[in-house]
């Protein structure tokens, strides 16, 4: 009975045994893929790559090896470009041992540094010998006073000494220059070694599982974010004072240590910040209360203080989250600049200055003078953003007539068409001065005594240029912050100058070459005699 049922049991086991699925694994180094596009964000980058692969019928595992450990695992995506029937089943990121480190390269650079050090020691010793020899030649006494020496002997000695001295001075100069060159070479090698780093011990791999209805070949597209990449905006304004034209250059300063070489790729610069949430914080209640002064309690010699503080309104900061021109794309919450040119962008931790766009425009040049604060006028220019995209915050270098003037900062984004005022530097050919000419105090009123304080200021502007100029001159008068204090302005009148609510006076003057102009500011401050006024 048992023998007859054995074949049946084996048959049943075979029928109900799980079907094993064998997957073919193909290994592709990440370096074999071509980088189609690099999107550089302020604090990271996204790489879009493509890799030709071949698969067999059924399930296949494509292992992409040698990726930098700095990739963000959750950002990895993959897609398929082919005419075959292939679909992606799974994507996985694994941390693996790096196939090759930079240690061999580091050792080679260090050997070159050691060789330079040995040569520096050798040449320093030769330099010491030459200097000691020169010192000896300069100190020896060839003839004693008692020795009877002919003129020809002295002449021959002098000629020989001059030749020997010249030879040694020449060798000293050559050695000093050689030592300078070697030191520079050593600095460059040390920078190269520093950029290589200690050599990474790990890498990452991407495993893409695909299922193919038939054996086929196709292009696998994949992308990922990685850290170690950043960019910041930088601007240059080049002003020509004669033509009164301005050229605005917009640069992206890119620095990267990601371990990948972006050179020759299509580059896109984006102002988006993928790591920053777009969700706004909630407003906190704004409560008001009666202020209670601090209460002090004395306990013998020691004192303690109990303070009741009035609740304050919650203050919210609203940071700004975040072109021959590149193609500009306005996204929902950011702006991207797709560069038209290919650039060199290795992973070397060096700042790479990339021209995003450049534009020239006419500017409004004006001189500003504040005689009370500065003895020279300052040249300024108003420039409208000439681009069709906003300018992000960043550093701005200003050049006037080919010379560097100053560095300013774009503190907030400047929209297309918006104006910005640039300070182009002080002009020491336009002189200013301010002086208090007269001041006195008098008391008025029979019953309600008032104090009247009288002030007269004189400002002088001199155009030392050989051409006419337009200059805006600013002075000030005090402004009353109390109903019992009155400020009466006698000069200038509203026809002569503009006076705003803050007491700032602005004259617009046109001065001929060499012309001198005097401006007067006269005002009285009136207040009750029994009051003390601050600010005078």
Does residue 62 or residue 282 have the better pLDDT?
62
**Calpha distance 406→425 (Å, rounded):** 7
pLDDT at 453 over 80: yes
Cis amide bond preceding 492, omega within 30: yes
Per-residue pLDDT tens over the stretch 94-133: 987 654 446 677 788 888 888 888 898 998 888 888 888 8
**DSSP character for 326?**
P
pLDDT score for 319: 31
Do 373 and 426 meet the contact criterion of CB atoms below 8 Å apart?
A: no
**Chain centroid to CA 77: how far?**
31
- Looking at every residue in the chain, the average pLDDT score rounds to 80
Per-residue pLDDT tens over the stretch 480-505: 888 888 999 999 998 999 999 889 99
Do 310 and 292 meet the contact criterion of CB atoms below 8 Å apart?
A: yes
Picking from 46-55, 175-184, 283-292, 428-437, which range would have the lowest pLDDT averaged per residue?
283-292
Residues 6 or more apart whose Cβ sits within 8 Å of residue 9: none
Confidence of residue 382 (pLDDT cuts 50, 70, 90): confident
pLDDT at 241 over 70: yes
- What backbone torsions phi and psi does residue 27 show, to the nearest 5 degrees? -100, 130
pLDDT at 11 over 50: no
**Strands 45-55, 202-212: pairing kind:** unpaired
What is the average pLDDT across 341-363? 85
- The position carrying tokens 């995506």 is 77
- The candidate with the shortest Cα–Cα distance to 421, out of 357, 501, 364, 486, is 364
Does residue 489 or residue 163 have the better pLDDT?
489
Do 172 and 133 meet the contact criterion of CB atoms below 8 Å apart?
A: no
pLDDT score for 18: 40
- Global pTM value: 0.57
- What backbone torsions phi and psi does residue 21 show, to the nearest 5 degrees? -110, 120
- The candidate with the shortest Cα–Cα distance to 339, out of 23, 11, 38, is 38
């Amino acid at each position: 009975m048992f023998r007859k049922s054995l074949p049946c049991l084996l048959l049943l086991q075979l029928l109900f045994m799980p079907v094993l699925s064998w997957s073919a694994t193909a290994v592709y180094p990440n370096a074999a893929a071509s980088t189609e596009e690099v999107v550089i964000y302020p604090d990271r980058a996204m790489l879009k790559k493509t890799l030709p692969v071949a698969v067999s019928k059924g399930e296949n595992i494509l292992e992409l090896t040698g990726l930098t450990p700095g990739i963000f695992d959750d950002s990895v995506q993959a897609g398929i470009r082919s005419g075959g029937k292939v679909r992606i089943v799974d994507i996985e990121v694994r941390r693996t041992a790096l196939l090759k480190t930079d240690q061999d390269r580091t050792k080679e650079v260090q050997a070159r540094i050691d060789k330079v050090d040995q040569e520096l020691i050798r040449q320093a010793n030769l330099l010491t010998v030459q200097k000691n020899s020169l010192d000896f030649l300069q100190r020896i006494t060839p003839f004693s006073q008692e020795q009877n020496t002919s003129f020809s002997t002295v002449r021959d000695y002098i000629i020989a000494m001059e030749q020997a001295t010249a030879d040694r001075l020449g060798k000293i100069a050559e050695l000093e220059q050689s030592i300078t060159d070697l030191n520079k070479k050593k600095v460059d090698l040390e920078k190269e070694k520093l950029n290589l780093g200690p050599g990474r011990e790990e890498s990452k791999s991407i495993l893409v599982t695909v299922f193919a209805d038939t054996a086929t070949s196709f292009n696998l597209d994949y992308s990922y974010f990685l850290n170690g990449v950043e960019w910041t905006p930088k601007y240059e304004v080049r002003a020509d004072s004669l033509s009164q034209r301005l050229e605005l250059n917009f640069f992206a300063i890119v620095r990267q240590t990601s371990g990948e070489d972006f050179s020759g790729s299509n580059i896109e610069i984006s102002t988006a910040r993928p790591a920053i949430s777009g969700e706004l914080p909630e407003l906190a209640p704004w409560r008001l209360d009666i202020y209670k002064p601090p209460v002090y309690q004395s306990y013998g010699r020691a004192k303690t203080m109990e303070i009741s503080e009035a609740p304050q309104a919650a203050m919210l900061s609203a940071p700004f989250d975040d072109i021959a021109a590149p193609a500009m794309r306005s996204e929902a919450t950011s702006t991207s600049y797709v560069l038209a040119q290919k650039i060199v962008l290795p992973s070397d931790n060096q700042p790479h200055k990339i021209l995003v766009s450049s534009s020239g425009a006419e500017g409004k040049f004006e001189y500003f003078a504040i005689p009370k604060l500065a003895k020279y006028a300052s040249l300024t220019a108003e420039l409208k953003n000439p681009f069709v995209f906003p300018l992000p915050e960043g550093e701005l270098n200003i050049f006037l007539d080919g010379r560097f003037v100053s560095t300013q900062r774009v503190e907030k984004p400047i929209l297309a068409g918006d104006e910005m005022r640039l300070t182009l530097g002080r002009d020491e050919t336009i002189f200013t001065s301010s002086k208090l000419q007269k001041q006195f105090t008098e008391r008025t009123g029979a019953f309600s005594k008032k104090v009247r304080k009288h002030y007269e200021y004189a400002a002088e502007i001199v155009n030392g240029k050989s051409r006419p100029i337009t200059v805006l001159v600013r002075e000030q008068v005090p402004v009353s912050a109390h109903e019992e204090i009155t400020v009466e302005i006698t000069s200038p009148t509203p026809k002569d100058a503009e006076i705003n609510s803050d007491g700032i006076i602005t004259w617009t003057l046109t001065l001929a070459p060499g012309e001198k102009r005097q401006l007067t500011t006269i005002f009285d401050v009136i207040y009750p005699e029994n009051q003390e006024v601050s600010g005078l």
